Structure 1
Amino acid sequence: MAQRNTWQRDRVRAALSGSPGFVSAQDLHASLRDDNTGIGLATVYRTLASLAASGEADQLQSPEGEAIYRACSSEGHHHHLICRSCGTTVEIQATDVETWAQRTAAAHGFTRAEHVVDIFGLCAACSEAAR
């Protein structure tokens, strides 16, 4: 079922697009609250889930286990390199991972296998700053 385009959905989408990296629903809600939008946390959660389901947003789990979101700039299946310090995110294609995932699934009798691979580390700038 298609989502109705409301002003709240547009504001959440705009706030997500304006975020430099992945952001939690609570952090996004805080920025919307600071702008006095009146948009509730439940609306932010529902909208982010809908944007992720439609492919307009990437959703993944942070190393701490929290769902985080980012406006998606690529179509189709892809992976991310994510800086644990500043949140810089790079979308990557990972052909070797795709091959490994399909081969591993098939070796165990699995079909229609799907996977999620995201790599967390420190970007070059944060690594240099840490030295």
Structure 2
Amino acid sequence: MNDIRTRRPTKQRTAIEADLERYEEFRSAQEIHASLHARGDKIGLATVYRTLQAMVEEDLVDTLRTGDGEQAFRRCSTGHHHHLVCRDCGRTVEIEGPAVERWAASVSAAHGFTDVAHTLELFGRCAPCGAEG
């Protein structure tokens, strides 16, 4: 089996990477698939899912669970960070949280856990969406 860091760039993967670069918000595999088809790329939904999962494993794409439990994907910057996500329009802001990091380390140590990882997404309404409602 090939190491995931040495996967060759297929036509499908290149199209998915290009599509991810076009958007700032988190999007589902189905939304990415529809966007690719609208542009004329004939890529199966299963291929989109497999490619996105490989990209997550390679730390090239971030993923989160939306409010309804659906997995969503976004090309993000490198390094550990968190997200502030508008629940109306999907606008996403990358945030760093030193207080969260300290809290996670403290809670983990207090319970005797080591090698702890975490994710944090905050959901709210961005200013433009808040002004509309």
**Shared fold (TM-score greater than 0.5)?**
yes
1:66 Cα deviation (Å)?
0.7
* Regions of 4+ moved over 2 Å: none
Using the alignment, how far apart are the partners of 1:38 and 1:124 within structure 2?
A: 37
- What percentage of residue pairs aligned between the two structures are identical? 47
In the alignment, is residue 19 of structure 1 matched against residue 23 of structure 2?
yes
Using the alignment, how far apart are the partners of 1:102 and 1:25 within structure 2?
A: 33
State which of 117, 120, 124 in structure 1 corresponds to 2:127: 124
Q: How does 1:103-114 map to 2 (within 5 A)?
A: 103-114=106-117
* Paired letter, 1:93: E
Using the alignment, how far apart are the partners of 2:37 and 2:60 within structure 1?
A: 22
Using the alignment, how far apart are the partners of 2:53 and 2:112 within structure 1?
A: 31
With structure 2 as the length reference, what TM-score do the two structures score? Answer: 0.93
SS at match of 1:109: coil
1:18 Cα deviation (Å)?
0.9
1:24-65 residue CA offsets vs partner (Å, 9 max, x unmatched)? 001110111222211000110011111111121111111111
* Paired letter, 1:48: L
Which sections of structure 2, spanning at least 5 residues, go unmatched? Answer: none
With structure 1 as the length reference, what TM-score do the two structures score? Answer: 0.95
**RMSD across aligned positions (CA):** 0.9
Tell me how many residue pairs correspond in the alignment: 129
1:4 Cα deviation (Å)?
1.3
In the alignment, is residue 60 of structure 1 matched against residue 85 of structure 2?
no
In structure 2, the partner of 1:100 is 103
